[in-house]
Amino acid sequence: MVISEQPKYTKADFESDNDVRWCPGCGDYAILSAVQQVMPQLGIPKEKFVFVSGIGCSSRFPYYMNCYGFHTIHGRALTVATGVKSVNPELSVWVITGDGDGLSIGGNHFLHAIRRNQDFKILLFNNKIYGLTKGQYSPTSEFGKKTKSTPMGSIDTPINPISLAIASGATFVARTVDKNVKHMMDILKQAAEHKGTAFVEIYQNCWVFNDNAFVSYTDKDVKSDNSVYLEDGKPLIFGNNHEKAIKLNGFHPEIIKVAGSNNPLIHDAKSEDRGLAYVLGQMGVENPGLPVAFGVLRKVQRPTYQELLYGQEEQAKQKPKGSLEQILNSGDTWVVK
């Protein structure tokens, strides 16, 4: 039997002594707590965790974790995380970002990190608003949204982070919500165990600037009708009494009754084809009238960027081209006597 020498951690080991400065009641507290509860369960030495963030309310996250952390600049956390993980692949790297940081100013890096399958986690706190700059509309704000900078309503079509991640070739895509801590912890654990980019969209309520943005999925009276919780290999069933299901009609999901129904849609997160995950990700977001899908939408294996990077390095080491001395003396040389 292998005796683990891993120290036994508790949540408290991951709590920093910095005062948490989010507004009281912010959804970020629940996410912080969930992360701090999951960390001790991962069997990873505490010093190997690195939390990298950009700018925004969510990006203060690293200060509240008792881990290595880098609070970088607006939109660029993914680039820093790329460097961190590339020189030390043993680290467990977690990127904390928001809808403004990750999809607006950092939109370019988002798709490139994901297409490369960088071996880190991306937790995107989506509150559909700019909080830290006090209430302007964000790339996920709904069309027509009235904010300080859009007094007549936003004329921008919002982006669905899940759709963008899937289009970029994400190997792990999940959605959860701040109020469902148990579900969030399960998703975070699965993300932690995934090799490659693990993208998690977390619906997070900003009660100061965009309260109740996700109430349809958190209010106990309505949430069951508006959310479907995905489980791999299981049918998509929802509703207060598990009476409704999703069925595909061509590419179009439809709501059907469980009773007497034939063939509710069975979730297949491991499908190499991105189509199903894309359809599920759109439900209730880009495709109204349907419940929003929570859980792991897609989970496939592909070599990570770091595996490929070190793989090439190993391959090159099989055919070394010479020492520094030899490199300096290469090319057309001549001797002056």
Partner 1 sequence: MSTTQTKIVKKTESLEEAVIRFAGDSGDGMQLTGGQFTTSTAIVGNDLSTLPDYPAEIRAPAGSLAGVSGFQIHFSSKDIHTPGDALDVLVAMNPAALKANLQDLKPGGMLIVNTNAFTETNLKKVGYAKNPLEEESLTTKYQIFSVEVTRLTQNALEDLKLSAKLVDRSKNMFALGLMYWLYSRPMEPTIEWVKKKFAGKPDILEANLRVLKAGYHFGETTETFISHFEIKQAEIKPGKYRNITGNEATVLGIIAAKEVTGLELFLGSYPITPASDILHELSRYKYLGIKTFQAEDEIAAIGSAIGASFAGGFGITTTSGPGVCLKSEFINLAVKTELPLIVCDIQRGGPSTGLPTKTEQADLLQALFGRNGESPVPVIAASTPSDCFETMLEAFRIAIKYMTPVFFMSDGYLANGSEPWFIPSVSSLPKIEVKYRKEKEGFAPFVRDEKTLARPWAIPGTCGLEHVVGGLEAEQVTGRVSYDPVNHDAMVKIRAKKIANIENDIPELKILNGSDKGDLLILGWGSTLGSINAAIEKLLENGHKVANVHLRHLNPFPKNLGAVLKNFKHVLIPEVNLGQLRLLVRARYLVDAQGLNIVSGQPLKVRDIVEAAEKLLK
Does 132 bind partner 1 (CB under 8 A)? Our answer is no
Q: Which is nearer to partner 1, 106 or 139 (CB)?
A: 106
Does 108 bind partner 1 (CB under 8 A)? Our answer is yes
Does 327 bind partner 1 (CB under 8 A)? Our answer is yes
Residue 48's CB: how many other CB atoms inside 10 A? 14
Q: Measured from the CB of residue 104, what is the shortest distance to partner 1 in angstroms?
A: 14
Dist. CA 65–CA 208, nearest whole Å: 24
Q: Which is nearer to partner 1, 157 or 315 (CB)?
A: 315
Does 335 bind partner 1 (CB under 8 A)? Our answer is yes
Q: Which is nearer to partner 1, 288 or 320 (CB)?
A: 320
Tell me the C-alpha to C-alpha distance, in Å, between residue 230 and each of 82, 170, 187, 226, 292: 30, 18, 11, 13, 10
Does 312 bind partner 1 (CB under 8 A)? Our answer is yes
Listed in sequence order, the DSSP H helices in 45-180 are 77-87, 99-100, 107-115, 161-167
Q: Measured from the CB of residue 84, what is the shortest distance to partner 1 in angstroms?
A: 4
Q: Which of positions 220-279 make contact with partner 1 (CB under 8 A)?
A: none
Q: Which of positions 40-59 make contact with partner 1 (CB under 8 A)?
A: 45-52, 55
Structure tokens at 260: 């007497």
Dist. CA 201–CA 162, nearest whole Å: 7
Does 320 bind partner 1 (CB under 8 A)? Our answer is yes
Q: Which of positions 136-175 make contact with partner 1 (CB under 8 A)?
A: none
Query: Which amino acid is it at 157?
Result: T
Q: Measured from the CB of residue 329, what is the shortest distance to partner 1 in angstroms?
A: 6
Count of residues of this chain found to bind partner 1 when the rule CB under 8 A is applied: 61
Structure tokens at 60: 């203060």
Of these, 109, 121, 223, 244, which contacts partner 1 (CB under 8 A)?
Answer: 109
Stretch that binds partner 1, among 163-171, 210-218, 287-295, 306-314 (CB under 8 A): 306-314
Stretch that binds partner 1, among 105-113, 186-194, 202-210, 254-262 (CB under 8 A): 105-113
Show the CA angle centred on residue 81, arms to residues 80 and 87, nearest 5°: 95
What one-character-per-residue DSSP string does 234-271 give?
SB-EESTTS-EEEEEETTEEEEEESTT---PPBP-TT-
CA–centroid distance for 241 within its chain: 30
Q: Measured from the CB of residue 261, what is the shortest distance to partner 1 in angstroms?
A: 46
Q: Which of positions 61-100 make contact with partner 1 (CB under 8 A)?
A: 62-63, 65-73, 76, 78-88, 90-91
Q: Are 228 and 292 in contact (CB under 8 A)?
A: yes
Stretch that binds partner 1, among 175-183, 215-223, 238-246, 317-325 (CB under 8 A): 317-325
Strand ordering across the sheet containing 252-257: 237-238, 244-249, 252-257
Q: Which is nearer to partner 1, 21 or 242 (CB)?
A: 21
Dist. CA 27–CA 42, nearest whole Å: 24
Q: Measured from the CB of residue 42, what is the shortest distance to partner 1 in angstroms?
A: 16
Dist. CA 78–CA 73, nearest whole Å: 10
Q: Measured from the CB of residue 324, what is the shortest distance to partner 1 in angstroms?
A: 5
Q: Measured from the CB of residue 252, what is the shortest distance to partner 1 in angstroms?
A: 34
Residue 284: DSSP 8-state? T
Burial of 215 (C-beta count, 10 Å sphere; 0-12/13-18/19+): middle
Does 317 bind partner 1 (CB under 8 A)? Our answer is yes
Task: Provide the binding-site residues for partner 1, judged by CB under 8 A.
Answer: 16, 18, 45-52, 55, 62-63, 65-73, 76, 78-88, 90-91, 108-109, 112, 309, 312-313, 315-317, 319-321, 324-325, 327-337
